[in-house]
Structure formats: structure tokens, C-alpha cells
């Protein structure tokens, strides 16, 4: 009897232990993740020594403030040599199964066959979690080498239907990554062999001790929903919980994210954000849209999912896609950095610092670890843009504040005040395309004196990269599109991630090439659909939203303990007097505020709520944050 009792107690203990592990896994992303990522400061050339230096500083200074994920960004498998770079081919390390392997020159501890395990062990010993960047699918090198596929169930080559499957069987050569076509291509997840390859990939990363993966070229204009879901399902099979972040975020809308958020933990919602006010500014519209759609903290893979506004480009940085490490300081003014940090906190975005931590100065450290901002980022609810404000200019525009500090030009297709863009096909601005002649596709739009048309000429359809040619019937429906009276080339549905978020709001014309990203289909419903991403070409007035990215903005949030936070932002090139309506605020928070105290967080100055409004003059591109306690 005693023996049976012991067995029963043991089983109960195991059940509760397993349940506890399940609850911990489910709540892994109950709060927006925080960490450090190597990309903004090292591009792709980070090495083991520099990474561990940054990890040690992170553990000592940032971990106490919740920054726990130390992430090596892309191309950690690429050798640094003459001719190597982001667009190069033939420089990648991989194992016998076609899986990327850390470059032994940059990450020498992996030479014995342990991959990233030695580094992950050191990172874990510091109390941190270890992350890596991944490209979607399988490498072009593996496909060209036709490597076998590992079956993790047997430890041998994958066999199905009596034959051994290889990389060429699963690689979709017509769907290479649009901005790294020599590097990676999608995998056919309808095949058991395709799923077996991805399973072997992520099982290896878990064995290495990876806690976080940033999966690129799979979202936004590179949208691959079947692969996102497949990876998510594979991660659920692993004993080690792994946080899934997807990227890039170009052209992402709440509608595009609707069926994806439950399969991921965080997802980019903008193009690459670099250290230019011109790049920071569009995030206000994006953050508002995802808050209004109730996407902040929606159900996700390991708890909740979080719209990701991209990294914090403060401190010592490099340049986009450069073969160079940190060599300059951020171009953002401190007011602009503060505004960015406040918006990211109010929108509950993941906080991933991008600067070289070896040069972290006290002012930047105090900003990214400010207790009130971190409290808002993790412990508030009802975070949203607030519309009950009035503003007016308090000075003349500062020409310097409006300058573009980015070296990346905006490439906008603009005709008669109309702007060509990308969006979900359910968007009302995606319909109205028609064939005006055999060789011309047009979209009519209203103007003051009637209708006008924006037209693009039909170009000869080039064969795709795998040599596949289309039938004459298919050729009637699918085509390349070239600008009229322009030498810019063909309409391109995938914006390069090396372009900044301000420059990636629209598709662009680029040199015509043999890639599906430049193939379009005109549907019977009047939609111009990208064969690469499934997104549709849209047409909007350039006046639309013109006032929304200038002037003033405000956000509100409520802490679980009852504090109310109000942030006001000046997006103008001049100082503005911004007034928050107290009656409007009372409507939003659902309570009277007359007996509450209001304190401005930066100055610690008290503000009266008895006069009907909170009014302050805010510097150009600056912000103010108020805490209301009742």
C-alpha cells in the first residue's frame, strides 16, 4: 500500500511539473521581449569575441532591466573574404545535410562540431537567452550541391516512397528570396521531405541551445504564410521553447497579420528603421493601426504576440548592409531618440537595442532603462493613440529638423498626386485596375476636373530563374510591368530591406530581371496581384495622410495598478503648443480626474487638471510624458 502511495505521489509530482513547464512555455512571451541584436552595429560581420563582449555588458547592465535576449543577426555562416558580402554566393559554411553552420573563422568555438552550443552555454551562464537570425527556406548552395535531407527520427537520410530525397527536390527555385536571390529560396512544405528539412534545421538550433529565432524573408512583401505556419508547428514539437520573430515588415497591415499572429511571438510591422527622423516618423501611423486593430498582445505562439516596430538605433552604429562594424554615432538627436523610445514603450513594442554596448554612454543607458518607460512597456493596458488634442505652432519651422539624414532615397511612383503602393487585396484601394489596350494596364482615379488614369506598360515576360516558361494562356494573365516614359525598369513587388522604412512604403521600379517578384496578374475583379507575395498594387492620393505625419500626436495607457500615462509628440519641424483635453481623457479612461495629480516624467513638474486641459510647448520632434495618479 505504501509503495502504491509513493508511485501515486511521484506521478502527481510529474504531472504538476509537466503542467508547470507547459504554463511557463505558454507564458514565455506574456510580455514584449527585450534584448540586444548585432545588426545595427555590426551588419553581418559580428564575430565571437565581439558578441560575447556585448553579451557580458548586457548581462551586467541591461539584464536587471529585462533585456534578456542576445541575438546574432544574419549571415553568421558567411566567410569574410574578398568578394564576400550580402549578395555573394559560395562563401557559406554548411553541414552534410545542407544546414547553415557558423563560420569557423569568426566563431572558432564551433569548430569541434558543436555549432553555437559553446557560445549559447556561455550566454546562458550569464543569465541571458541566446538568439540567432535565420533566412527562410534552404540555401541556394545546398540546392546546387543537392545535399541529402536528415530525418531526425532515424538519424539517416530522409526516405519516402522508396527513394531518398534531396535538396533539389524541395527547393522552390522560382521563389528565391527577392532581396537575396543567390542566398536562399523557399521550401515546398507540401512535401514530407520539405517538412523534414525544416524539422532537422530547428531541432539542430534547439540542440545548440537557441532560445530565439528571427526568421527573415518570410513576411511583409516576402509573405509566405504556409512556411510561417509550418515553422510554428515544428517549434511546438521541440522540448526547448524557442521564441519566433518574423521579418521584414514592409507593407504589413493588421489585415495581413490577421491569420499569422497566433503562430508567432513578435512580427515586424515596418521596413528597416534606421537612425533618421524620416524613418521614425512613419511608425506613428503603423503603431496606431495595430493598436486600433487590437493586435497589441493578441494570442501568440508562446503566450502573446507583439507588433515589432524594429530595433532602437541609438549609440554606436554601422550602415545598412555594410561590410563594416560600428564606426559612427546615431544621427538622431536626443529629443528624437527619446520620442522613439516613448512611442515604442507606449505601443508595447519589443525593445531590441541595436548599438554597440561596448560604447554605451550613460545618457543612452538611462533612456533605454528608464523605469517609467519600461513599466509602461510591460505593465499597461488599453494602449492607444488619443485624439482629444489641439495643437498650434509656437515658432517658425526649423529647416534643419526637417532634413533627411538618411542616404537612402525615397522611390515613390507618383502620378498626378497619386501614389502606387502595396497592400492586402481586400483593401478598397486595390481594385480598379484594367487593361486599356493590349499592352497597357491602367488604374483610373478621381481628380478635381474629372477622371485621370495611371498607366503602366506591359513588358515582355522573362523566364523565371529556374528556366520555366509560361504558356501563351498564362502569358495573357501574368506579365512584367514597366514604367511609361521611364528608364527605371519593371515594377518590383519586394522592397530591399537595405532601404529604410521611410523609403519602403511603396513598391519600386528596378531593372527587369528573371524573378517572380516582378510578375503580376490582372484578375477579373480588377486587382493587380503580385505572383511573389500575393499582395495587391494599391493607388492612393498623395494627399492622403499628409497631415497625419506632421503636427501633433498623443497616446494613452493605463497601468494595471491604476496610473494613467499620457504621451504627447511633436512631429513638426517647429515647436508646437499641444493641449490634451481633460474631458476627452476622462471619456477614454472612464473616470473623473479632478482630484488626481499629474506629473511630467522628465521634469517632475506638477500640472493642474482643473483647467480642462494639459498644455505644453514641445520642441520639434520632441515628446513629453505625463503620469496621472488618482
Q: Out of 3.20.20.60, 3.30.1950.10, 2.60.40.1180, 2.60.120.260, select the CATH number for domain 389-394+548-629.
A: 2.60.40.1180
C-alpha cell recorded at residue 364: 543612452
Residue 612 CA to residue 581 CA, distance in Å, equals 6
Alpha carbon 86 to chain centroid, angstroms = 19
> Is the Cβ–Cβ distance between 89 and 81 less than 8 Å?
no
Q: Please report, for the chain, how many H helices and E strands are present, in that order.
A: 16, 38
C-alpha cell recorded at residue 236: 511546438
Residues of the chain with pLDDT under 70: 1-26, 398-418, 445-453, 460-477, 479, 482-488, 495-508, 541-550
- How far is CA 233 from each of CA 24, 68, 257, rounded to the nearest angstrom? 18, 25, 17
> pLDDT digit string (tens) for 97-150?
999 999 999 999 999 889 999 999 999 999 999 999 999 999 999 999 999 999
Nearest to 73 by CA among 113, 102, 44, 101: 44
State residue 613 phi and psi, 5-degree precision.
-165, 155
- Confidence at residue 173, expressed as pLDDT on a 0 to 100 scale: 94
Burial (CB count within 10 angstroms: exposed 0-12, middle 13-18, buried 19+), residue 210: buried
The structural architecture, per CATH, of the domain 34-139+198-379 is Alpha-Beta Barrel (3.20)
Residues, the chain: 630
Nearest to 137 by CA among 221, 74, 197, 72: 197
User: Omega before 553 cis (within 30°)?
Assistant: no
- Confidence at residue 352, expressed as pLDDT on a 0 to 100 scale: 98
Q: Do 34-139+198-379 and 389-394+548-629 share a fold?
A: no
Looking at 96-199, which runs of residues are DSSP E strands? 129-135, 138-139, 150-151, 156-157, 159-160, 163-164, 171-176, 184-187
State residue 258 phi and psi, 5-degree precision.
-55, -45
- Confidence at residue 518, expressed as pLDDT on a 0 to 100 scale: 82
Which residues make beta-bridge pairs with 391?
Answer: 578
Residue 547 CA to residue 563 CA, distance in Å, equals 31
Enter the pTM of the model.
Answer: 0.86
In the three-class reduction of DSSP (H, G, I as helix; E, B as strand; rest coil), residue 540 is classed as strand
Q: Where are the domains of the chain?
A: 34-139+198-379, 389-394+548-629, 418-461+477-496+506-541
- Confidence at residue 444, expressed as pLDDT on a 0 to 100 scale: 76
State residue 3 phi and psi, 5-degree precision.
-65, -40
- Secondary structure (DSSP) of 478-492: EEEEE-TT-SS-EEE
Amino acid at each position: 500500500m505504501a509503495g502504491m502511495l509513493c508511485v501515486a505521489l511521484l506521478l502527481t509530482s510529474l504531472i504538476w511539473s509537466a503542467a508547470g513547464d507547459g504554463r511557463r512555455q505558454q507564458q514565455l512571451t506574456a510580455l514584449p521581449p527585450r534584448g540586444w541584436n548585432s545588426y545595427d552595429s555590426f551588419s553581418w560581420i559580428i564575430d565571437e569575441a565581439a558578441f560575447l563582449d556585448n553579451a557580458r555588458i548586457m548581462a551586467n547592465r541591461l539584464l536587471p532591466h529585462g533585456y534578456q535576449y542576445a541575438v546574432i543577426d544574419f549571415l553568421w555562416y558567411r566567410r569574410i573574404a574578398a568578394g564576400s558580402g550580402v549578395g555573394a554566393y559560395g562563401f557559406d559554411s554548411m553541414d552534410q545535410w545542407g544546414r547553415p553552420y557558423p563560420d569557423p573563422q569568426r566563431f572558432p568555438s564551433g569548430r569541434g562540431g558543436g555549432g553555437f552550443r559553446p557560445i549559447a552555454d556561455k550566454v546562458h551562464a550569464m543569465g541571458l537567452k541566446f538568439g540567432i537570425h535565420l533566412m527562410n527556406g534552404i540555401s541556394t548552395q545546398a540546392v546546387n550541391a543537392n545535399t541529402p535531407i536528415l530525418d531526425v527520427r532515424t538519424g539517416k537520410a530522409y526516405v519516402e516512397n522508396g527513394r531518398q530525397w534531396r535538396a533539389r527536390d524541395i527547393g522552390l527555385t522560382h521563389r528565391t528570396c527577392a532581396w537575396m536571390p543567390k542566398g536562399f529560396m523557399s521550401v515546398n512544405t507540401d512535401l514530407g521531405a520539405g517538412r523534414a528539412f525544416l524539422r532537422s534545421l530547428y531541432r539542430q538550433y534547439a540542440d545548440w541551445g537557441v532560445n530565439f529565432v528571427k526568421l527573415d524573408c518570410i513576411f511583409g512583401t516576402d509573405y509566405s504564410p504556409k512556411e510561417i505556419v509550418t515553422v510554428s508547428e515544428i517549434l511546438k514539437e521541440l522540448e526547448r521553447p524557442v521564441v519566433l520573430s518574423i521579418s521584414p515588415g514592409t507593407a504589413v497591415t493588421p489585415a495581413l497579420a490577421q491569420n499569422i499572429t497566433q503562430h508567432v511571438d513578435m512580427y515586424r510591422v515596418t521596413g528597416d528603421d534606421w537612425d533618421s527622423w524620416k524613418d521614425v516618423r512613419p511608425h506613428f501611423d503603423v503603431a496606431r493601426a495595430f493598436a486600433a486593430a487590437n493586435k497589441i498582445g493578441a494570442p501568440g505562439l508562446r503566450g502573446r504576440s507583439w507588433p515589432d516596430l524594429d530595433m532602437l538605433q541609438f549609440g554606436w552604429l554601422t550602415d545598412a548592409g555594410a561590410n563594416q562594424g560600428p564606426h559612427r554615432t546615431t544621427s538622431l538627436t536626443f529629443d528624437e531618440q527619446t520620442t522613439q523610445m516613448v512611442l515604442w514603450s507606449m505601443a508595447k513594442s519589443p525593445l531590441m537595442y541595436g548599438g554597440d554596448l561596448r560604447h554605451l554612454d550613460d545618457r543612452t543607458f538611462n533612456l533605454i532603462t528608464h523605469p517609467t518607460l519600461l513599466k509602461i512597456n510591460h505593465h499597461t493596458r488599453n494602449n492607444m493613440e488619443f485624439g482629444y488634442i489641439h495643437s498650434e505652432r509656437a515658432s517658425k519651422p526649423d529647416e534643419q529638423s526637417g532634413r533627411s539624414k538618411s542616404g537612402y532615397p525615397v522611390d515613390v511612383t507618383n502620378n498626378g498626386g497619386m501614389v502606387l503602393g502595396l497592400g492586402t487585396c481586400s483593401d478598397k484601394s486595390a481594385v480598379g485596375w484594367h487593361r486599356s489596350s493590349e499592352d497597357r494596364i491602367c488604374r483610373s482615379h478621381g481628380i478635381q476636373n474629372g477622371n485621370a488614369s495611371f498607366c503602366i506598360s506591359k513588358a515582355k515576360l522573362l523566364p523565371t530563374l529556374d528556366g520555366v516558361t509560361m504558356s501563351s494562356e498564362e502569358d495573357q494573365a501574368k506579365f512584367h510591368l514597366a514604367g511609361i516614359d521611364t528608364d527605371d525598369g519593371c515594377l518590383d513587388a519586394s522592397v530591399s530591406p537595405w532601404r529604410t522604412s521611410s523609403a519602403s512604403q511603396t513598391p519600386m521600379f528596378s531593372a527587369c530581371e528573371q524573378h517572380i517578384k516582378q510578375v503580376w496578374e490582372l484578375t477579373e475583379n480588377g486587382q493587380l496581384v503580385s505572383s511573389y507575395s500575393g499582395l495587391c498594387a494599391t493607388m492612393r492620393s498623395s494627399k492622403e495622410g499628409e497631415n497625419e505625419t506632421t503636427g501633433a500626436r498623443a497616446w494613452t495607457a493605463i497601468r494595471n495598478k491604476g496610473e494613467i500615462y499620457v504621451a504627447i509628440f511633436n512631429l513638426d519641424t517647429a515647436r508646437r503648443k499641444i493641449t490634451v483635453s481633460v474631458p476627452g481623457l476622462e471619456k477614454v479612461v472612464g473616470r473623473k480626474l479632478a482630484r488626481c495629480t499629474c506629473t511630467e516624467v522628465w521634469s517632475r513638474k506638477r500640472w493642474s487638471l482643473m483647467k480642462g486641459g494639459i498644455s505644453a510647448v514641445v520642441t520639434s520632434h520632441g515628446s513629453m510624458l505625463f503620469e496621472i495618479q488618482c
